[in-house]
Amino acid sequence: KAGVTQTPRYLIKTRGQQVTLSCSPISGHRSVSWYQQTPGQGLQFLFEYFSETQRNKGNFPGRFSGRQFSNSRSEMNVSTLELGDSALYLCASRSLGGGREFMNTEAFFGQGTRLTVV
Amino acid sequence: AQSVTQLGSHVSVSEGALVLLRCNYSSSVPPYLFWYVQYPNQGLQLLLKYTSAATLVKGINGFEAEFKKSETSFHLTKPSAHMSDAAEYFCAVTLSGNTGKLIFGQGTTLQVKP
């Protein structure tokens, strides 16, 4: 069974540009979450999608957006890039959709996309 | 208040020594607790998770963690460190059953000296 796949692995962008990152979850997983990892702030939750709907969002500006397709693949977009957006962006998928059992379900992470803004 | 707190951003042990990585959780969060490991330039991999079936949880690579409600702790241990254990370790909690959001601790970098 293939794991969570994130593309591309590395990106270098210039301030002011926009970027789109892609995440393909494990087959059958419908919950996809995105996280930003930086040395200063650690791992921070961006948003989660389930069945093409965003059902939770972290405390990030509106420049960060995402979507999920009917095959559960997800993309996140960052517009008007700032130097501070340089980070490792991680995607995670889970097999269940909700409830107490879901809370205990393992999140499977991709290897991440390393974004550098110059 | 932080949902999970990891004490010590860096821990250094000698090869063969006991590994102890500390995690305390807020008593207001449901105890759906996880330990993840991250190797350089990699994503996160689950080491173990707490289930109400047992307070002592065994995970992969010889790691285990004990859930102590009275101390609101879920510390990670390994009896004998190996060089390959050098990595960053994260304690995490799920807060709600209707979201996949994980709240992570600040992370602890484990260094293993030969």
What confidence tens digit (pLDDT) does each residue in B49-101 have?
997 778 899 999 999 999 998 999 999 999 999 999 999 999 998 876 567 78
From the centroid of its chain, how far is CA A113? 9
CA distance A86 to B72: 35
Of the pLDDT bands very low, low, confident and very high (cuts 50, 70, 90), residue B11 is: very high
- Indicate which of B94, B101, B106 best probes the interface with A, i.e. most A CBs within 10 Å of its own CB: B101
pLDDT of residue B32: 85
CB half-sphere exposure, B45, CA atoms < 13 A = 16
Q: Looking at residue A1, what DSSP letter applies? A: -
CA distance B64 to B49: 9
- Search chain A and give the residue with CA nearest B32: A104
Q: Which of residues 28-67 of A touch B (CB under 8 A)?
A: 31-33, 35, 42-43, 45, 48, 50, 55-56, 58
pLDDT of residue A12: 98
CA distances from B40 to A88, A112, B45, B65, B82 (A): 12, 11, 12, 23, 16
Pairwise CB contact (< 8 Å): B49 & A112: no
Q: Looking at residue A106, what DSSP letter applies? A: P
Residue among B42, B46, B107 whose CB faces A42 most closely: B107
Helix (H) / strand (E) element for A103: namely helix A99-103
- Indicate which of A49, A103, A115 best probes the interface with B, i.e. most B CBs within 10 Å of its own CB: A103
What confidence tens digit (pLDDT) does each residue in A5-47 have?
999 999 999 999 999 999 999 998 989 999 999 998 999 999 9
Helix (H) / strand (E) element for A108: namely strand A108-109
Q: To the nearest whole angstrom, how far is the Cα of A78 from the nearest Cα of chain B?
A: 20
CA distance B17 to B78: 9
